[in-house]
């Protein structure tokens, strides 16, 4: 299903990889996922010197080590990168370059910036089970600068391939928690643990918790089975995206989201 979207050249490459590999390759076509059709954000070496570049780098640090650099706003053991893989660059993991241009109607800079602020605040409240940083905070400014930088050169006003998460077609049979548990044990527990607790090494979190007190709360985007199914399909097991069937992705998403996690925080008026 993903294959269809690749150009013929890429397809040939995929076939070559599969045929030439001596061992039955389990990795799917995603092995060459970032084909020429997918937007490539500017590389690190292009980050300019000076205050803007500094802000971009700061944004990246917050994004990848959120608990360390934005401690006050974080209420669990995740980082932004836990879901927005490859430092917010990976297609189909809601990449920042896709986010920035998602709101093309907000042409005037301020307006566009405000909209993104709110989206980021949402991820802090729900996905990070924390407190949203104020729009004027250094944390927010740095994250906005980082997103802005990453979208440099991205066409505005068109739907970019790899933007957001994949929306998976409805499965043949309705998602089953029971079947999902089997998939979880076979394909996920190695890293996320039998109890969804994740794993640490030398005191630091390596594999993030997928449920329980230290994971995302019930207001988060991934608490929707369809969203989680799309995320899992393209990104999990890590480095083995697109190896679960659609049905397995739905089932395992149903299982993960049936497990306990923090409640959705009560509505609050925002200024």
Partner 1 sequence: MKTTFSALFLAAGIIAIPGPSGAASLMDWGRHVAKAGNGKPGGTACMECHRLDGGGMPSIGAPRISGQPRQYIAREIREVKEGKRYGPVMAGVVQNLSPRDIRAVALYYSRAKSPKLPDVGPSDPALVAEGKHIATRGFWKKNIPACVQCHGPNGYGVPPLFPYIAGQNRTYLLRQLMAYAFLKRQDDPEGLMRGIARRLTMAQRKAVAEYFSSLKPPVRDVP
Residues within the interface to partner 1 (CB under 8 A)? 21-23, 25-27, 30-34, 85-87, 89-90, 187, 190-191, 199-204, 206-207, 237-241
227 binds ligand HEC (CB under 6 A): yes
101 binding partner (options ligand HEC, partner 1, none; Cβ < 5 to 8 Å by kind): none
Please give the torsion angle defined by the CA atoms of residues 70, 257, 187 and 251, in that order, rounded to the nearest 10 degrees: -150
Q: Which of 28, 67, 164, 171 binds ligand HEC (CB under 6 A)?
A: 164
CA distance 208 to 214: 9
For partner 1, the closer of residues 87 and 141 by Cβ is: 87
165 binds ligand HEC (CB under 6 A): yes
Q: How many CA atoms lie within 13 A of 256 on its CB side?
A: 34
Please give the torsion angle defined by the CA atoms of residues 43, 45, 51 and 56, in that order, rounded to the nearest 10 degrees: 30
CA distance 115 to 223: 22
Q: Where are the alpha helices (DSSP H) in 46-171?
A: 51-64, 66-69, 80-83, 85-88, 96-100, 109-122, 138-150
What is the smallest separation between the CB atom of 30 and partner 1, expressed in angstroms?
6
Q: Which residues of the shown chain bind ligand HEC in the complex (CB under 6 A)?
A: 63, 66, 78, 80-85, 94, 96, 98-99, 102, 116, 119-120, 123-124, 127-128, 143, 147, 163-165, 187-188, 190-192, 207-210, 215-216, 220-222, 227, 232, 236-239, 244, 252, 256
């Amino acid at each position: 299903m993903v294959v269809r979207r690749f150009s013929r050249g890429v397809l040939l490459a995929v076939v070559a990889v599969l045929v030439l590999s001596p061992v039955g390759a389990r990795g799917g076509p995603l092995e060459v996922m970032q084909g020429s059709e997918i937007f490539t954000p500017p590389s690190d070496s292009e980050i300019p010197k000076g205050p803007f570049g500094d802000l971009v780098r700061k944004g990246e640090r917050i994004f990848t080590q959120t608990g360390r650099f934005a401690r006050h706003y974080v209420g669990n053991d995740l980082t932004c990168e836990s879901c927005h893989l490859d430092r917010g660059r990976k297609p189909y993991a809601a990449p920042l370059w896709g986010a920035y241009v998602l709101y093309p109607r907000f042409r005037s800079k301020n307006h566009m910036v405000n909209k993104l602020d709110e989206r980021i605040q949402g991820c802090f409240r729900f996905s990070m089970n924390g407190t949203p940083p104020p729009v004027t905070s250094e944390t927010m400014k740095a994250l906005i600068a980082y997103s802005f930088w990453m979208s440099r050169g991205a066409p505005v006003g068109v739907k970019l391939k790899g933007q957001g998460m994949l929306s998976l077609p409805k499965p043949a049979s309705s998602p089953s928690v029971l079947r999902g548990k089997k998939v979880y044990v076979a394909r996920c527990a190695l890293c996320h643990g039998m109890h969804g607790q994740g794993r640490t090494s030398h005191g630091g979190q390596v594999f993030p918790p997928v449920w329980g007190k230290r994971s995302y709360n019930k207001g988060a985007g991934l608490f929707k089975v369809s969203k989680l199914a799309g995320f899992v399909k393209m990104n999990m097991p890590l480095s083995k995206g697109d190896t679960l069937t659609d049905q397995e992705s739905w089932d395992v998403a149903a299982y993960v989201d049936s497990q306990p996690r923090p409640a959705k925080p009560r509505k609050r008026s925002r200024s």
